[in-house]
Amino acid sequence: MTAASELKYFTSADGDLAYREAGAGDLVVLVHPGYVDHRIFDDQIPALVSAGHRVIAPDVRGHGFSANASGPFRWADDLGALLRHLDAGPAVLVGVCMGAAVVTDTVIEHPELARAVVVAGGGTSAFEHTDPWTRERAAESARLLAAGDVAGWVETFAKNVAGPHRSVAQVDPDAVRRMREMAAHTVAKHTVGEANWYVPLDDPWSRVPKIDVPVLAVHGALDADDGIAMAERFAQAVPDGRSVTIEDVGHFPNLERPDAFNTALLDFLRGL
């Protein structure tokens, strides 16, 4: 996995935000799921660089190697500030799970920074969790975090890799190990009961039909219904949206089947 020494830092108005940068060419920005960090894209970055792309993979505020928030912030503004600092963009914005919400917020708030959007396992930041399995995992995670049971929370978090149709034992052990390692690192940055400074966008779904760049939704066939539904709703709500399904994977297709995910992503990029 990427070493911390390979990272660069952007000095924002509220602490340093970490990111990995590699390659040259048309820009692709990779935004990770909640509780993990840029390292979940370790299998995507070399493939994109080899195909002639510049890649930026940030750690969202409060995650990985980035500073925690000490005041109100919005995901879109953090990512927008980083790209402007680097004089970068417009970019293809790629987000998985929470990362999907980050990139959709960004294309809504800062449309000049995006030339296309790819989402997997999520849609906008107005999360829609109705699937019983998803709601049960969320409630269990919240209870364990409130109790300060980090070890128990990490094990519950690992169930998200498997999804509702498999056990953790049926997933590639290396994929589970990587997720556990990243999640434990992010949770260790926080304390029980600390303030949540994140400020959500107001009704982002109403603004999605105005997005005028190509959109791709990548579905893991074994994902929970919520993850598939939110990404598909996003792709169907824009004028130029499409979707592809990767078989035999759950919520994090780029982690479990990097070959198939990279193929879908590179095919989409070649068509832009």
Give domain limits for the chain: 4-130+196-270
pLDDT at 6: 84
Q: State the average pLDDT for the chain.
A: 95
pLDDT in tens, 79-88: 999 999 999 9
Average pLDDT over residues 213-218: 98
Is residue 123 within 8 Å of 231, Cβ to Cβ? yes
Q: Exposed, middle or buried, 219 (CB in 10 Å: 0-12/13-18/19+)?
A: buried
Residue type, 12: S
Please state the pTM of the whole predicted model: 0.96
Cα distance between residue 21 and residue 55, in whole Å: 6
Judged against a pLDDT cut of 60, whether residue 3 lies above it is answered with no
Instruction: Give me the CATH code for the 4-130+196-270 domain, please.
Output: 3.40.50.1820
Q: How do beta strands 91-96 and 215-220 pair?
A: unpaired
Percentage of the chain lying above the pLDDT 90 cut: 92
Quick check: 2 pLDDT over 60?
A: no
State how far the alpha carbon of 159 is from the alpha carbons of 137, 147, 162, 177, in Å.
8, 19, 5, 12
Residue 187 contacts residue 157 (beta carbons within 8 Å)? no
Report pLDDT for 1.
56
